[in-house]
Structure 1
Amino acid sequence: MEHEMAQQGQGKPGTLAELKARRDAADKAAAERKTREDAALARYASAVKAGDGVDAKLAKDLAALEAKAEQLRTAAVSRRVASERDAARSLAELTELGRSVEEVAGWVGLSVKRVRRMVKDARGEGEAKGTAASEPSPVGRPVASVPSAAVAGVTEPPPVEDVQQRPVSDGLASGGTASKEDAASA
C-alpha cells in the first residue's frame, strides 16, 4: 500500500526538497485561494454599497415625486376653484340678463337652491375678496384660500383623478356646502 501511495505522490517524502515542494504547493494553493477570497469579499462589499445607494436614491426620488404630486394636487385644486367660480359667475350673468334662477337651474341640471346659492356667492365675491370662506367646499376645503391651505397641509386636496373626472357643476363657486337636495340633483 505504501508503494501505491508513493506512486500517487501521497506517500512519505524522502528528502527535504520534497518536503519543501509540498509545503510550497500548499502555500501556493492557499495564496491563490486567499486572492480569490479577497476578490469575492471586495465584490460583496461593492454590491452592498451599491444596494445601499439604490435605497438612498429611491428614497430621494420618492420624496421628489411626492413633492411634485403635492404641487400637481395644489394646482389642480386651484384650477377647480377657478372653474367653479367661473361657472358661478356665468350663472349669475344669466340671471342678470333676465333669466330666472328656475330657468337657469333647468338648463344646467342643478337644483334651484344650488343655483341660487352659486349666484349669491358669485355676486358676493367682490365684497369678500381676500377673505377665506367660512364653510368648506363640497370637496372639503375652504375655497377662497385653497392653494395656501393645501400647501400648509391644513387640508388634503383630492386626488388628481377626482379633479379630472368631476363635472364642473359638481362643486360650488365659493364656499358653502352641498345639501342632500344638491347631491340628489347633481
Structure 2
Amino acid sequence: MSRTRGLRRVRKRLSIPLLLSATLLIYTMLAPAPRLITEKAAPTTDARIPDSYALNVSVNDFNEEGILLGSTQAQGLRRFPREGIVELDEPTRRNYSDDGEWFASARSGQLREKTEVLILEREVRLQYANDKLQFLTDSMIINIPKQAARSTSSVRIWQADNETVAQQIYINLQKQVASLSGSVRTVYVPDS
C-alpha cells in the first residue's frame, strides 16, 4: 500500500505541471493572433476647427476719451476661443499718436485676445509715415495696450539710401522712439 500511495503522490506532482503546460499550449494555439495597431485603430483627435471666420475685417482701438489709438485690418480671420487666439491673413496694424502714424503689415499674424498682443510673422514691414522710415523683419510682437513693438529677429532699417541692420529692436510707438540692441551695423550714404 505504501508503494501505491507513493506512485499517486508522484503522479499528482507530475500531473499538475503537465496539465498547466498542456493548457498553455492549447491556449496559444487557439488564441487569436495579436493585431498590429493600424492607422484606423489608432485614436484620432478632432480637427482644429475655428469658432468663427470673417473676411476683410477692420477693428479700431480708442482710449477712454474716445481718441483713435489704432486699427487692425486683415483679409481673413479665424477665431479659436478655447485657445484665446485669432489667426489673421495679411494683417495690417496702424498706431496713431500726436507725432504721426506707424503702419505695420505681414503675411500672417495672431492676436492673443486676453493680452491684446498682436504677433506678426513672415515679411513683416513697419513704417513710420511722416519720415518714410521702414523696418523689415521676420517676426514682430505689438503690445496694443502699451503701444509698443519688439522684434528679436534680425531687423533691417532703411531710410533713403541709408541702411541699418540690428539683431533686436524695441519701439515705443506712442513716443516714436526705437531702441536697437545686439550687433548693430549701419551703412550711411551722404547726400551729394
TM-score by length of 1: 0.31
- More RCO (CA 8 Å, sep 6+): 1
More helix by share: 1
TM-score by length of 2: 0.30
